[in-house]
Amino acid sequence: MPGPNPIPSFGKVLVVGGCGFLGAHIVSLILKRHPQSQVAVLDLRTTSNRHASPSVSYHDGDITDASAMQALFTQIKPDVVFHTASPHFDAPSKIHDKVNVEGTDILIKAAQDSGVKAFVYTSSASLVIDASMTVVNADETWPLITGAAQPEYYTTTKAFAETAVLAANRTPSSFLTCAIRPSGIFGEGDVQLLPPMLSACRKGQNKFQVGANTNLSDFTYVENVVYGHLLAAQALLQTHAMLPTIPLDSERVDGEPFFITNGQPVYFWDFARAVWHAAGDRKTLRDIWVLDRDFAMAVGTILENACWLLGKKPNINRKQVRYSTMDRYYNIDKARKRLGYAPLVSLDEGIKRGVEALLEKERREGEKKAQ
């Protein structure tokens, strides 16, 4: 395994959103890499994605409830907090405000009051994407796009939360924070990337390609994202151990954001085709129709409006067209240098695992229905 050797224990760890897609994977990898840690999971409902290990405890709770959070933090007294909770991308603005902004503030306050050493926030790589919808090899020096310049309200609230987390670093001086910005997470249990791609394939939409397919995209296998989180926590704990000494600016992890990707940007449609291939599709390049981007945008506009009138969901919309034709990739040198990060699992292996898990899940559900 590349990177620094894992320390055997993080002490007491609280994973906020630990029953979600990313959170559940964080719990598993902590148990694997830092087996002597005590893990507590906080989630709105802790029924799904539960880990069987006895060293994991589950706590139902709402992060927007300040007094409940204070009580929970006093009870658990975590050393390390991973804050992965976030509403679905398509949720209404009010929910984003409530969970991402207020919820994060409440968690920061509770963590500061209960003596947490390391606080790792799951941010998003979209924070630097503006209305031009193009990001070419961006690094952490790029400014955050928020407010009127930010096309997605979800992203604005993620940026506010990240800024708050990083601003709280070293207040008090023993409270260390950092933020991980993953791009395009996929893997076992993912609901936002692989499932829609697979259903597009089943509808036969994989015979179309929008744009010239020269746009590079960063997709990140979930375990690599998790690995980035764990390396960040370990680095924060090591910084904590040498308090009050502050590391050199060029080596600092506390108070810093990090892009985490697979470090393997690929052409968007190549990723999609690799996913489809893994799911059994055998289309060749000759079977594919290339649609001009502007044409697809026009079709998207018409369909969106027509479907809005009919109250249906369009098969193609402008957001998808933009997403599939935009350059969106990052430079992860900072994470490589300061965290010792290198992806554990390659893109093709990740796709294989993710698609297999998805097909397996469908098989199980199919069997259940049949019974």
Partner 1 sequence: MPSIGTIAFYATHPAQLRSIIQWKVWHNPVHEIDESKQTESLQRCFHFLRLTSRSFVAVILELHPELLVPVSLFYLALRGLDTIEDDMTIPLQKKEPLLRDFHNILEKDGWNFTENGPNEKDRQLLVEFHVFVEEYKKIKPAYRAIIKDITERMGNGMADYANNAEHNLAGVNTIKDYELYCHYVAGLVGEGLTRLFVEAGLANPALLKRADLHESMGQLLQQVNIIRDVREDFDDKRRFYPKEVWSKHVDNFEDMFKPENKEKALAVNAEMTLIALSRADDCLYYLAGLREQSVFNFCAIPQSMAMATLEVCFQNYDVFQKNVKISKGDACQLMTESTQNLQLVCEVFKRYARKIHKKNNPNDPSFLKISIACGKIEQFIESIFPSQKPPVDAKKNPASAQEVERLKKEANEAKWDTIYLISAVVLTIVVITGTMLLTAWMAGARFDIAFAQMKVQLGQLLGTDDAKAVSPKVSPGGHSEL
Q: Which residues are near partner 1 by CB under 8 A? A: 97, 101, 128, 130, 132, 134-138, 141-147, 149-150, 157, 159-160, 163-164, 213-214, 216, 264-267, 270-271, 273-274, 276-277, 282-285, 327, 329, 331, 347-348, 351
Residue closer to partner 1, measured from CB, 254 or 327: 327
Cβ of residue 181: shortest distance to partner 1, in angstroms?
A: 15
Distance CA 328, CA 176 (A): 30
296: amino acid identity, one letter: A
200 Cβ contact partners less than 8 Å away, ≥ 6 residues apart:
206
63 Cβ contact partners less than 8 Å away, ≥ 6 residues apart:
16, 42, 69, 85, 99, 103, 104, 106, 107
Cβ of residue 126: shortest distance to partner 1, in angstroms?
A: 14
| Inter-axis angle of helices 268-278 and 194-202, nearest 10 | 70
Cβ of residue 112: shortest distance to partner 1, in angstroms?
A: 17
Residue closer to partner 1, measured from CB, 28 or 134: 134
- The verdict on whether 313 is a catalytic residue reads no
Cβ of residue 159: shortest distance to partner 1, in angstroms?
A: 8
Considering the candidates 12, 117, 158, 369, report the single residue annotated as catalytic.
Answer: 158
- Of the chain, the end-to-end C-alpha distance in Å amounts to 44
Half-sphere exposure of 238 (CA within 13 A, CB side): 17
Residue closer to partner 1, measured from CB, 45 or 286: 286
Torsions phi, psi of 40, nearest 5? -115, 135
Where do we find the tokens 């470090």? 263
Where do we find the tokens 């055997």? 8
Distance CA 260, CA 258 (A): 6
Q: Are strands 266-267 and 216-217 parallel, antiparallel or unpaired?
A: antiparallel
Cβ of residue 54: shortest distance to partner 1, in angstroms?
A: 39
Residue closer to partner 1, measured from CB, 51 or 170: 170
Q: Residue 97 corresponds to which tokens in the numbers above?
A: 């405000």
Burial 351-366 (b: 16+ CB within 10 A, else e): bbbbbeebeeeeeeee
Residue closer to partner 1, measured from CB, 153 or 227: 153
Half-sphere exposure of 142 (CA within 13 A, CB side): 25
| DSSP secondary structure code for residue 185 in this structure | E
Cβ of residue 285: shortest distance to partner 1, in angstroms?
A: 7
Residue closer to partner 1, measured from CB, 53 or 93: 93
CB atoms within 10 A of CB 190: 18
**Catalytic center residues:** 158
